[in-house]
Amino acid sequence: MNPYYAGILLGLVLLSAMYFSGRGLGASGGLKYAVVAAVGAIDKTHVQESSYYSQYFVNGESPLKNWLFLEVLGMVLGGFISGAFSGRLKFKIEKSPNISNKTRLLFAFLGGVFFVYGAQLARGCTSGAALSGMAVFSVAGFVTMISIFGSAYMFAWFFRKLWI
């Protein structure tokens, strides 16, 4: 799809979230709730002793019974429908021909660790902090957006072999 049309579509989805639920979109938060729920299921005492985990168990309900977690589940279905619609469903490791599958998967894993750690610190990722924040004039949204992209340009030279 033309990027500007896709942007309009994405903007309308974000506007719907604001109109229906009074909030923006998110992605990293969904991963956080999955981790919190898993740790809660494995080690109850650890969760009760931790000031971080315990805040997600105050009302006695599962951390998965959450707007953001259901939104992330919906994302998987929405992406699948779009991929089916455009004929892009395929198991594949996407990478530059100059690197091995192993290198690609290792850096994909490390990238995930860094990205979501940073997103927890900044209280949102590109979706929840940068995009949704900008749409409500949040200073945090603009600052996070500039930090993410500024930093990615700063580090791009070091990781160029992965991509070009």
Partner 1 sequence: MGPLSIISSLPEWVNLLIGFIIGIGFGFALEQAGFSSSRKLAGMFYGYDTTVLKVFFTAAIVALVGSQFLSFFGLLDLSLVYVNPYFIGASIVGGVIMGAGFVMGGFCPGTGISALSIGKIDALFFLFGGLVGAFLFAETYPIVEKFAISGFKGPMKVDDWMGVSPGVFTFILIVAAVILFWIAELAEKKFNRPEITSDI
CA dist., res. 164 & res. 150, Å (int): 19
Residues 44, 50 contacting (CB under 8 angstroms): no
Q: Does 63 bind partner 1 (CB under 8 A)?
A: no
Residues numbered 116-135 forming contacts with partner 1, rule: CB under 8 A: 116-135
How many CB atoms within 10 Å of residue 109? 10
> Which of the residues 83 through 122 are near partner 1 (CB under 8 A)?
83, 86, 88-96, 104-105, 107-122
What angle (nearest 5°) sits at the alpha carbon of residue 54, between those of residues 50 and 55? 125
- Among 57, 62, 67, 99, which residue sits at the site for partner 1 (rule: CB under 8 A)? 67
Q: What CA–CA distance (Å, rounded) separates 107 from 76?
A: 23
Number of residues that bind partner 1 (CB under 8 A): 122
Minimum CB separation of residue 60 from partner 1 in Å reads: 14
Q: What part of residues 3-42 is at the interface with partner 1 (CB under 8 A)?
A: 3-4, 6-25, 27-28, 30-32, 34-36, 39
